[in-house]
Amino acid sequence: MNPPVVSMRDVAVSRGGRTIWSNATLDIPQGSFSAVIGPNGSGKSTFVAMVLGLLKPSHGQLQVFGKDPEVGNRNIGLVPQNHTLDNASAVLCRDLVGLGVMGTRWGLGVRNKAIAGAVDEALAAVDATDYADQRYGSVSGGQQQRISIAQALITRPKLLILDEPLAGLDLLGQVDIVELVHRINHDRGVTVLFVTHDLNPLLAHIDSVLYVLDGRPQFGPTDEVVDSRLLTRLYGTSVQVTRAADGCIFTRTE
């Protein structure tokens, strides 16, 4: 069997002297498509920071691809909530994707054929070639997300982390992004961690869910986690899970 992408054994994490969560023992298998859910402040961002090597456990063992997490791991592609690059809206989409390889070496990689080829491949993977030479700020929100995903894919990562990629998108835009990520997961075998507030757009595609309940991260198959009583406890408000006759599942709050 392949080793898990992320493995935790009795992991705890603290910030500012306060324990965020503890007693985390779980494995995230290769090739899985997992939602990361929970209310604000529950520790979703903390989990992502630890996988990225930005925050160390205060207790226990955390491994990513069988090793201690490291900052800048090229096996991990990250789609952040917002681009931190100054004046990103004025940058050509193609150049923004190239920054996934070039980093701060602005302008140096544009003439490199290998990088240009990788950019073209990443753009094609997210169906963004047609607007690659437009400025990032001039394309739609859904197109911007595709460019962000292309940037994350340019190093051909084995793990793709998306931090609230559906925020600000209309229903059609949400469906398009989820289906794109599902295709990447299926066709490339990329493990996906999809941080979200709304499970509904993902329920037809995810196979597992990671959540923090009673101060402990937990991981399980979708059918077990998407349960009215569990989600009600998790969010502190009534959540109803409905299973339609055609097999579709959706959640709603009351």
Strand 208-213 to 33-37 pairing: parallel
On whether residue 64 sits in a domain, the answer given is: no
Q: Which regions of the chain does DSSP assign to beta strands (E)?
A: 6-15, 18-28, 33-37, 59-64, 76-79, 159-163, 191-195, 208-213, 216-221, 239-243, 249-253
Residues sharing a CB contact under 8 Å with residue 204, sequence separation 6 or more, in sequence order: 248
Terminal Cα-to-Cα distance of the chain (whole angstroms): 43
Backbone angles phi, psi at 240, to 5 degrees: -105, 135
- Per the structure, the count of domains in the chain is 1
On whether residue 147 sits in a domain, the answer given is: yes
The pLDDT profile of the chain, 254 residues, written as one tens digit per residue, is 678 999 999 999 998 888 999 999 999 999 999 999 998 888 899 999 999 999 999 999 999 999 999 999 999 999 998 765 556 788 899 999 988 775 544 444 445 778 889 999 999 999 999 999 999 999 999 999 999 999 999 999 999 999 999 998 999 999 999 999 999 999 999 999 999 989 999 999 999 999 999 889 999 999 999 999 999 999 999 999 998 877 788 898 87
On whether residue 118 sits in a domain, the answer given is: yes
Q: Is 6 left (phi over 0), alpha (psi -120 to 50) or beta?
A: beta
On whether residue 237 sits in a domain, the answer given is: no
How high is the pLDDT of residue 109? 44
State the DSSP code for 2.
Answer: P
How high is the pLDDT of residue 208? 97
Distances (CA, A) of 151 to 128, 191, 222: 11, 16, 29
On whether residue 18 sits in a domain, the answer given is: no
On whether residue 95 sits in a domain, the answer given is: yes
Structural domain of 110: 83-156
Q: What is the dihedral of CA 102, 103, 107, 108, to 10 degrees?
A: -40
On whether residue 145 sits in a domain, the answer given is: yes
* Predicted TM-score of the model (pTM): 0.92
